[in-house]
Amino acid sequence: MGFLHPILLAGLALGALPIIIHLLTRRRHKVVRWGAMKYLLEAIEETSKRVQIEDLILLAMRVLIICLLALAVARPKFNRQAAGPGPRLAVLLVDNSPSMQADRGGSTRWDQARAWARSLLNSLPAGSRVAVLPLCNPTDPAALRDPTAQVLLAADVVDELPASALSADPVSAIRAASEIVGGSDLPNRSVYVLSDFQATDWRDSGNRLADAVRALLAQQNTTLTAVACGEQDRTPSNVAVTRLDRTWRVIKVGRDIQLNGELQRFAAADGDMDVATTIQIDRQKADARSAGVQASEPRRLDYYARFDAPGDHEVTLQSASDISPADNVRYLAVEAREEVRVLIVDGDRHLDAPVQSESFYLRYALAFGQSDAVPISVDIIDGEDIRNARLDRYDVVMLANVSQVPPAAAGELVQWVRAGHAAVIFLGDLVDTQSYNSGFLADAKGGFLRAHLGAPIDAPRDRQTGAVGLFNLAVASFAGPIMTFFSGDDLADLDKAGFSRALEIDLAGNTAADNVRVDAALSNGVPLLVTRELGEGRFALLNTTADVAWGNLAINPGFTPMMQRLLVWLLAPTATSTNLTPSQTWELSLPLETMDTPVTLKRPDGRTVVLEPVVDAARQRAVRTYSDTTLAGFYRVTWDVGDQQQSRLFSVNVSSREGDLAAIDAGYLRELAGPASPDIVWETLQTPADRLVGARAGGRELWLWVLGAALGLLVAEQYLGRRFSGGTR
């Protein structure tokens, strides 16, 4: 038997109060000589002993009630195995998510949690062993997975744990702790979770979290101690920067462009809150806005900025400081270009009626109506002129319903793509499928990809009206960087696009090594968008027309952003700016001759890493990857080509959900544990760590039972008191 708050046992002294009151109020008898009194003496003598016994019973019950209440407040705990002061296994799960950077009484939750963890380590009995895991990524190299008896080493690990851009992953962390506990031979095992218990992380884990907690507590003599680092009685008001993007996918040097930001206010009362924000370009202020932000909906803000030099640039949106600084900033890496030249080869051009041309809608989707602020220059030629085209003048070539391409021009186009450029093919009624199958699509070495174009497939007509039916897009199967942008509420009306005809496409001849991907398909399963990285360039095949002959995609509101996303992907070998989520892998693909060229990555914390190359035999490329993207900010990669230095930039942002600081409570965690909930202890940082070390290795808390006994005695005392006094007679 032990007590979680033994100092409160001093309340047992209050049990003497009923005795003192009894003694002070005991009646003093005055002897009075009265003759008639002698007739009552015999009756009093008969009942005096019974009355004394009844008084002593009531007095004992009152003393016991007070003592039981004092014991309940001290929280007694029955140990399945006596822990005593002996050695134990302590597994610390320390939350290093962005929400832990929130202010808490003048310092951050993160700093206070680490200080509390160090205090706990200093309180462990001699011979104890310690493991330390970050709650965001328990496999982090900075973790201490093998329990050590060197408390100073464990304290150093706690001090050096990095603040992460990752959200908390309680399921993985508790599973990892369970493995460590299961491998220990120490009789007493305690897992300490130091976290703000952000609801967006703990509630979304659902049944997987419940299973992990119960599996942990099912192990003998194991307890789970939750140390809440946030405000449990309220949810702090907080404003977060939840989005930063650009209106135009391709940005022109020297022109003002529009940037889109979004703010969201969490856990706030009704009414507007004025928030100041600033946009910086390469760490120099470019624009600023102030706006009222309501609690009910996100607030979008538009900014304007100019990029004065070609290449990659850092864009930062910063809001005014508040309780949680980690979500007050958002990063965006963009590339500015002097010009992107696109050649559209129109196989069905109508100079007298441009709206009927294949290039009519495509041209405006690519160049935003030929705005002067867009660096996309579009040239259009007839299909038969492809044989005389100067490909060296262009970055991208698009063939729209072109009947056939002479073998010499086709071979030149394929080699041009392999050398680092991009090509797109739109199909249509004029396409000579036999020519394509034996040329462009003949095989992986001589053509763009292994594919076979079959017969047209028409959407079925309505049996009653005879109206032409339409195939829709299978939006749930979108894949790749072009189409996965369109998901959820951001489909841009692509779910309403309809297709009356498509060609059968057989891709069975391609293998995984060919890097062929179906990014979008129709509702009948026929591929709509097929992409491939080919050598140093990229290729895309669209199984529809660029006009409205085979459907309404060209006039769908989603057509323009889809073509812009496609263009950015096609330009990726040179348009290298990338924006990632935490832990997403970034890849750099360079020619094989760069195998011995040092490539250096500089992290947001200033640390540099040398990226080692891996040969991709299928693409004949030297590929370097980096997956330790757990810090928010900008990452810059540099390498030398001759006497010139090349560089690429990418950014990492925290999840927009990190701004919601609402937390779970002890009841929710005990509900997850189910029958094992008595082995869960819920505390806060105000609880001294040394009080949690002692008789806490396994067992059950008994305070509810003790409180119930006290209440039961109170009811019994009231009943007996009335009965002894004759109140129930």
pLDDT tens, position by position, 162-217: 889 999 999 999 999 999 999 988 888 899 999 999 999 998 766 899 999 999 99
d(CA 632, CA 165): 5
Ranges in the chain annotated CATH 3.40.50.410: 89-227+663-698
Identify the pLDDT of residue 9: 74
89-227+663-698, superfamily in CATH?
von Willebrand factor, type A domain (3.40.50.410)
Ranges in the chain annotated CATH 2.60.40.10: 578-652
Which residues, other chains included, contact 392 with Cβ-Cβ below 8 Å and sequence gap of 6+? none
Higher pLDDT, 488 or 378: 378
Identify the pLDDT of residue 206: 64
Architecture of domain 238-337: Sandwich (2.60)
Supply 570's token pair.
């096609």
Identify the pLDDT of residue 464: 66
pLDDT tens, position by position, 2-12: 665 667 777 77
Q: Which among 90, 80, 143, 163 has a CA at the least distance from the CA of 121? A: 90
pLDDT tens, position by position, 351-373: 888 899 999 999 989 876 556 66
Average pLDDT over every residue of 131-135: 95
Buried b (16+ CB within 10 A) or exposed e, 540-560: bbbbbbbbbbbbebbebebbb
Average pLDDT over every residue of 553-571: 91
Name the 3-class secondary structure at 572: coil
Burial of 225 by CB count in 10 Å (0-12 exposed, 13-18 middle, 19+ buried)? buried
pLDDT tens, position by position, 54-103: 778 888 888 888 888 888 887 776 554 444 457 889 999 999 999 999 98
The shares of helix, strand and coil residues in the chain, as percent rounded to the nearest 5, are 30, 30, 35
Ranges in the chain annotated CATH 2.60.40.150: 238-337
Identify the pLDDT of residue 400: 96
Q: Amino acid identity of 460?
A: P
Q: State which fold the 578-652 domain adopts.
A: Immunoglobulin-like (2.60.40)
Among 153-162, 474-483, 504-513, name the one with the lowest average pLDDT.
504-513
Greatest mean pLDDT among 4-8, 125-129, 433-437, 630-634 lies in 630-634
Which strands sit side by side in the sheet containing 633-641, from one edge to the other?
578-580, 644-652, 633-641, 600-602, 608-610
Greatest mean pLDDT among 461-465, 624-628, 671-675 lies in 624-628
Identify the pLDDT of residue 428: 95
Among 26-30, 164-168, 267-271, 651-655, name the one with the lowest average pLDDT.
26-30
Is residue 536's pLDDT more than 70?
yes
Identify the pLDDT of residue 698: 44
Higher pLDDT, 620 or 579: 579
**pTM, two decimal places:** 0.71
Phi-psi category of residue 388: left, alpha or beta, with phi > 0 → left and psi -120 to 50 → alpha: alpha
Which one is the CATH code of 340-570: 3.40.50.11540, 3.40.50.880, 3.40.1380.20, 3.40.630.30? 3.40.50.880
